Amino acid sequence: MDAQKEEVDENGEDIMEGALIARDKVGVQDFVLLDSHTSEAAFLNNLRKRYQENLIYTYIGSLLVSVNPYQELDLYTVSQMQLYRGVNFFELPPHLYAIADNAYRVMCNEFNNHFILISGESGAGKTEASKKILQYYAVTCPTTEQLQTVRDRLLLSNPVLEAFGNAKTLRNDNSSRFGKYMDIQFDFKGAPVGGHILSYLIEKSRVVHQNHGERNFHIFYQLLEGGDKDLLCWLGLERNPQKYTYLIQGRCAKVFSINDKNDWKIVRKAFSIIDFTEKDMEHLFGIVASVLHLGNIQFEEDSNGHAIIRDGSQIKWISKLLGAHLSILQEALTNRKIEARSEEVLSPLNVDLAFYARDAVAKAIYGRTFTWLVDKINGSLANKDSTKKTVIGLLDIYGFEVLDTNSFEQFCINYCNEKLQQLLIEMTLKAEQDEYELEGIEWEPIPYFNNKIICDLVEQKHKGIISILDEECLRPGEATDLSFLEKLEEKVGDHAHFVTRKLADQKTRKSIDWVDFRLLHYAGEVTYCAVGFLEKNNDLLYRNLKEVLCNSKNSIIRECFLMSELDNRRRPETVATQFKNSLTSLIEILMSKEPSYIRCIKPNENKEPGKFDDFLIRHQVKYLGLMEHLRVRRAGFAYRRKYELFLQRYKSLCPATWPHWHGPAAEGVERLIKHIGYKPEEYKLGRTKIFIRFPKTLFATEDAFEYRKHLLLSRLQAKYKGFLGKRAYQKKRKAAIKLEACWRGALARRAAKKRTWAVQTIRKFINGFINRKKPLCEENRDFVRLSQYYYLMKLRDHLPKNVLDKSWLRPPSILEETSEMLQKICVRNLVRKYCRGLTAERKVQLQQKVVTSAVFSGKKEGYLESLSQPFLETRLKENDLNPKVLQLIRGENIKYVTPVVKYDRNGFKARERLLVLTQSSAYVVEMAKIKQKIEFTLKGTSGTLCQGWVTLSLFFCFQGDVILQDEHIFETAKLCILANKQSAVKVVKGSLRFRVGSGKEGTMVFTVGPEPQVFKDKTGQLTVVSTPKKS
């Protein structure tokens, strides 16, 4: 249990609940522990502290005080229910669930009956508290599929009873207008197997009258708002509640906080689960509708002063819905049957009496139908098993009421609260005395206010207020409320708790009217208005009206109004006597059970969350008798706890009991309190419990425990952290070892797999090498592919860089054909790249080189050495020519100009000239003169290389050949291109015959000598000497 408590203490507000050290902030969770237990201010201050922290529950011993928070709090979840299940009463913060669970556990363990009394004024949360307790039992008790139906009926009986028995009042939008006692029956396993409900004093007057700001019972509005169109049509109703007299008196038919349509759906669902038949619901809704129709009946006075019904539409609907004869019903509402000896006489009613009769019928029908409804629910909850059952009773009953005007209903309610307060004090004192005697501690009589004197004032035979009221109702003659008041003054006027205006002193008389009387209740003074007491107590229904209802065809009405009533000539019991008898019966039921108490408090009148109205709450604390209960509870010892629990909690404060005490718990506690230093007057040791007289003693012990707990927690944390560290290290070490072993295994398997693969691969390639010359097959495929791959990879890095690079990597035999194809592709690619990179000028030069190659390649020495030298476009620019020459050539595009040496044909004298080539002619130019123009009828040329000297011979048919020496003989090949005479060019060696003139020829001889020279030899031939070429 302590483990669970500590778990709760770790969370937010619960840590304040778990430790008394937080009492300065949130107060104490048990009023018994207040130092100033007799101070009402201290009581309210403690209640306020807790309410401001949303701690709405506080104990007074085993009594629970509940303050309505007027907001949703996270206190009622399933996890909260499980938390309180089976836990010791004081081990967790105060809660409804703790009260419910304690009653359930004691019932199961001791097989005795219990009841939980829930009281408080309207709006304090009594109905919600009873719902929460029912939900707790539904969730936490053992169940089967069969028992689930019983649970559902127990839970869904609430919405039905609320619809017919609750209403909006000034103080509460869902106020219970009847008292309810519900027995929940459990089998020997602790499972809920049935239930039984008793109802007390349904407020029938609300059916016909509501104060301003209040409503009639919920069912009327739910039917109009939620009923489907066909149902309303069958009942003769309209949706608008403003159409019905019984619903408009409070002037608040629509309420924002109430969803009548949704509530109607819940009620219809509940009816089906509680086992109502369609016929039952049809008759029930017919009764509800007939009440509304009754309210709309209006009476008028005829000429004789008798009441008559002018509009018969409403009474027709009533006749249909109740199954009563129309004319008989109409006669019963306007006439009264009087028995005179052996005769029955109809006496017409005046308008006032007719309205009284109408309202009496409405109240009687609704009141008895509510009783039938409770009986019907009891029938569905009844357990047919005859085995013995244990029960837990829930008493949800009105609290003490003090209104601006207090009438007969408040008188009955406050009488009920007097009886319950008497029961509470007596049972609390008895429980205290029994515990003292059981523990062997001397009982000291406790002085307290015994309200038996007030109960006797109300209920004593022949002398009490109820007896006097009955006498006035039953005596012949005209009894009035004033005559009743006079009789009270006569018979109980000398009672200390009874005052009227006539009996009061001068000061008190001003606050009491002539028709009022005042009772001094245990909770304070209440002034009652005697007007209406006799009428409400009589609650008479005329005999002829009762006959109509007894003969009704509505099955529910027939069950409520039995024919046997007509045969009974005795006057029925008055309402007050009925209530007194039922209350006496209830007290007997409660006296036979073990009690638990819940006192509900309303914090403010406006239903605002967080608002704490001191005046209002002080008033409720007073009339709920909380201070009196606290005083009785604190008269002896403020705190008591079993030895085992006390020792378990505080054993760490004494070295002798920490960490383990191996002897009896009583001896351990005795050793512990001696070590702490308790004084003899501060405690008593019983047989099974320790009793501590003063709260300050407990608080000092709790503070010491809180300090000690921090020290122990520090040690525990250190030890635990060390343990966690060691465990984490061992876990990591173990994991590392396992991981290393797995990794080494994985590496070894990988290496073995790699070696196997390597062996297989080597074997495969050796076999491929052996069979490499065979055609491609399975045996040599991988080797051939690898050879191809490596050759291609190596070839990639050794490709020729240009067109002239003829190097090529030698291929293996199996790739020779492929290599040859690749080489061709590579050369083509290089050529393509080279060609794409050529400029137009360079292209022309290369074309000239091609022509030159065709002419001189293999024929002329020095040609190969000239290949690397690019041709110039011209050796001399056009600007270098004499303008006169340009003028003479005009119109022709000059292609090439180069300096040359011309040799005369006769004397072979050397003359420097310029050779100018155009598109159509060649010009030999001297300074500003054109010495010779040669049309492109070129027959041939010859020349030889002699240390840079070139002899060029041109032969022309008619004028003779021109002998020119040009150092750039290969560039002069442009002449062949321009003349388009490439095939006419001849290259000769040794000697050359040329034509000097018409019919004459000469010879040029080419020789090798030590020095280059050109001369005319003795034979008249032109001799050209060149140096030999170095090898």
Q: Tokens 């100009």 map to which residue?
A: 897
**Strands annotated E in 244-389:** 299-301, 307-309, 335-340, 343-348
The answer to whether the beta carbons of residues 348 and 306 sit under 8 Å apart is yes
Measured CA to CA, the distance from residue 894 to residue 914 in angstroms comes to: 13
Residue with tokens 């050539």: 889
Give the separation between CA 517 and CA 498, rounded to whole angstroms. Answer: 7
| Cα 495 from Cα 2, distance rounded (Å) | 54
Read off the tokens for 729.
Answer: 């290290």
Q: What distance in Å separates the CA atoms of residue 46 and residue 601, rounded to the nearest whole number?
A: 14
Burial class (CB within 10 angstroms; exposed 0-12, middle 13-18, buried 19+) of 617: buried
Q: How buried is 404 (Cβ within 10 angstroms: 0-12 exposed, 13-18 middle, 19+ buried)?
A: exposed
Strands 594-601 and 524-529: unpaired
> Residue 746's CB: how many other CB atoms inside 10 A?
10
Q: Active-site residues: which are they?
A: 122-123, 127, 172, 175-176, 399, 401
Q: Please, are residues 339 and 133 in contact by the beta-carbon 8 Å criterion?
A: no
Identity of residue 538: N
For helices 278-295 and 218-226, what crossing angle results, to 10°?
110
DSSP 454-512: HHHHHH-TTTSHHHHHHHHHHSSS---HHHHHHHHHHHHTT-TTEEETTTS-HHHHTTS
H-type helices in 958-1027, by residue range? 974-979
Supply the DSSP symbol for 306: -
How many CB atoms within 10 Å of residue 994?
20
Q: Name residue, tokens 């035999």.
A: 813
Is the Cβ–Cβ distance between 534 and 477 less than 8 Å?
no
Sign of CA dihedral 974, 977, 982, 984: negative
Residue 146: C-alpha distances to residues 187, 277, 691 (Å): 13, 20, 47
Report the C-alpha gap between 494 and 496 in whole angstroms.
6
| Tokens describing residue 552 | 């009704």
Q: State whether residue 896 is helix, strand or coil.
A: strand
Q: Which long-range contacts (CB under 8 A, 24 or more apart) does 669-674 make?
A: 669/643, 672/647
Structure-token match 């937010």, residue found: 12
Closest CA to 94 of 435, 432, 598, 601: 598
Cα(460)–Cα(456) distance, integer angstroms: 5
Give the three-state DSSP class for 683.
strand
Q: Cis peptide before 659, with omega less than 30 degrees from 0?
A: yes
Q: What element of type H or E holds 995? A: strand 991-997
Task: Give me the helices (H) in 960-1027, please.
Answer: 974-979
Quote the tokens at residue 339.
């028995």
Q: What's phi and psi for 32, nearest 5 deg?
A: -60, -25
One-character DSSP codes across 622-670: HHTTHHHHHHHHHSS-SEEEEHHHHHHHHGGGSTTTSS---S-HHHHHH
Please give the distance of CA 80 from its chain centroid, rounded to a whole number.
Answer: 19
Please spell the DSSP secondary structure of 909-966, one letter per residue: -EEEEEEEEESSEEEEEETTEEEEEEES----EE--EETTEEEEEE--TTT--EEEE-
